[in-house]
Amino acid sequence: MIPFLDLKGINAQYRDELIKAATDVIDSGWYVQGQQVKAFEQEFAEYCGTKHAIGVANGLDALILTLRAYKELGKLKEGDEVIVPANTYIASILAITESRLKPILVEPNEHTYNLDSTLIELAITPNTKAILAVHLYGQLADMPTINSIAQKHNLLVIEDSAQSHGAQMHGRRAGNWGDASGFSFYPGKNLGALGDAGAVTTNDDELAQAIRALGNYGSHRKYENLYQGVNSRLDEMQAALLRVKLKNLDNETKRRQEIAAMYINGIKNDAIVLPMLPNSTPLTPGNCVWHLFVIRTKLREKLQSYLSEHGIQSLIHYPIAPHHQRAYKDWKHQSYPITESIHREVLSLPISPILDNESVNRVISITNGFE
Ligand SMILES: *Cc1c(COP(=O)(O)O)cnc(C)c1O
């Protein structure tokens, strides 16, 4: 059986170091807001190339706290419109509605699954105040174009980098393209904690300060409250474990890219569409951090059961479009044909830093035998 993702195996690579890091935290007697979080925040900010990283409880909170901070700073107000890709993972949209802002769903480019930048300007109204650009599956959204549109219309740009730790374009990494960026360190992400964790990166001092306070009861100084905040903090244990994982992230990404290159060169089947660049040429392995390797086929259900019969686990990211979710039942009559076809056709093949060449070659030859 080739599993989709062997989390136990991934963390087993660093077992001794993780146990040492955990032991140090246990023995330190300090479990929240201490040296480990501070060190991780510095290391992660440096990794992304930003001035600040603020540890929070999870990726959804990273986005919610960012939007909330912009409201506290008077840059967003209730009801403002935020442009977001219609096919994103639901958390991007939950962050907008939780903040009482209005998501404006925009169709993705059908080749990259990221925001179609030619459609963004058509969606802008006088109420539009921000673009939440998602780097889905590990590929950066078209940030140069998105940033120039934002500049022209005076919009904030927030990145959802939950699937793209380390992804770069022109030497600039995910998390350092927008005004702020949310990261998730959920165990299955490219940089995964051993529990829930997240962070916001930004170069904006004022925003960083507001997010830090909002996630700590609204308090910037002990027993003094600037805001009606929440408790959303990264803890010492997860920060210590993340420091071990961060040191190895680039190596893990390199292995993901090698696997992607093998799939891109090896999979030859007319029924299957491989990951693409916007101009529909194959995606270069180095331009993506391959959180997922997503193929497309009109015969998705048949391919998934065929792979399963041959001992290969595949998953669907994602089976139900946000506008078809019960949670957003008011949107059920809206139509996003590209998004809907993506949700009908995508399938994710196994990819992980510990998948060996033999398994990759087996996935390739079985997939090529599908008809
Ligand atoms: C995982 C994910 C999130 C949410 O992160 P959590 O840590 O699970 O809250 C947000 N956006 C995207 C695109 C994600 O993949």
* pLDDT tens-digit readout, 171-211: 999 999 999 999 999 999 999 999 999 999 999 999 999 99
Q: 58 in ligand 1 pocket by Cβ < 6 Å? A: yes
Using the predicted structure, report yes or no on whether residue 277 has a pLDDT greater than 80: no
Ligand 1 centroid–CA 94 distance in Å is 10
Contact 158, 179 (CB under 8 A): yes
Confidence of residue 67 (pLDDT cuts 50, 70, 90): very high
Average pLDDT rounded to a whole number, residues 21-36 = 98
Q: Is the pLDDT of residue 26 over 80?
A: yes
Whether the ω angle into residue 318 lies within 30 degrees of 0, i.e. cis, is yes
Ligand 1 centroid vs 141 CA: distance in angstroms? 16
Cβ(244) to ligand 1 under 6 A?
Answer: no
Tokens found for residue 52: 């600040």
93-115 average pLDDT score: 97
Distance 266 CA to ligand 1 centre (A): 31
Ligand 1 centroid to 93 CA: how many Å? Answer: 11
Burial category of 108 from C-beta neighbours within 10 Å (exposed 0-12, middle 13-18, buried 19 and up): buried
In this prediction, residues 265-293 reach a mean pLDDT of 87
pLDDT for the residue 148: 98
- Tell me, what's the pLDDT at 72? 98
* pLDDT score of 42: 98
Number of Cβ within 10 Å of residue 286's Cβ equals 12
Q: What is the pLDDT of residue 267?
A: 97
Binding site membership of 198 for ligand 1 (Cβ less than 6 Å): yes
At residue 146, does pLDDT exceed 80? yes
Specify burial of residue 270 (Cβ count, 10 A radius: 0-12, 13-18, 19+): exposed
Our mutation pick for probing the ligand 1 site, out of 61, 67, 89, 113, counting the most ligand atoms within 8 A of Cβ, is 89
pLDDT digits (tens, 9 = 90+) for 109-139: 999 999 999 999 999 999 999 999 999 999 9
Q: Is the CB of 163 inside a 6 Å radius of any atom of ligand 1?
A: yes
Shortest-distance atom of ligand 1 to CA 196: 7
Closest C-alpha residue for ligand 1 atom 14: 162
Band of pLDDT at residue 287, cut at 50, 70 and 90: confident
Region 336-347: mean pLDDT is 98
pLDDT band at residue 279, thresholds of 50, 70 and 90?
confident
CA distance 46 to 274: 33
What would the pLDDT profile of 220-272 be if each residue is shown by its tens digit?
999 999 999 999 999 999 999 999 999 999 999 999 999 999 999 999 999 99
| Helix (H/G/I), strand (E/B), else coil: 75 | coil
User: Which residue puts its alpha carbon closest to atom 7 of ligand 1?
Assistant: 59
- Say if residue 283's pLDDT is above 80: no
Query: Which atom of ligand 1 is nearest the CA belonging to 63?
Result: 10
Residues 185 and 179: their CA atoms lie apart, in Å, by 20
Which of 5, 92, 161, 194 for mutating ligand 1's site (highest number of atoms within 8 Å of CB)? Answer: 92
| pLDDT over 90 at 144, yes or no | yes
Residue 96 Cβ contacting ligand 1 at under 6 Å = no
Torsion over CA: 219, 223, 227, 229 (sign): positive
Q: Is the CB of 184 under 6 A from ligand 1?
A: yes
Q: Residue 49: its pLDDT value, please?
A: 98
Q: Is 160 in the pocket of ligand 1 (CB under 6 A)?
A: yes
The proportion of the chain whose per-residue pLDDT surpasses 90, expressed as a percent, equals: 96
Q: Is 85 in the pocket of ligand 1 (CB under 6 A)?
A: no
Residue 20 vs residues 14, 37, 346: alpha-carbon distances, Å: 10, 16, 40
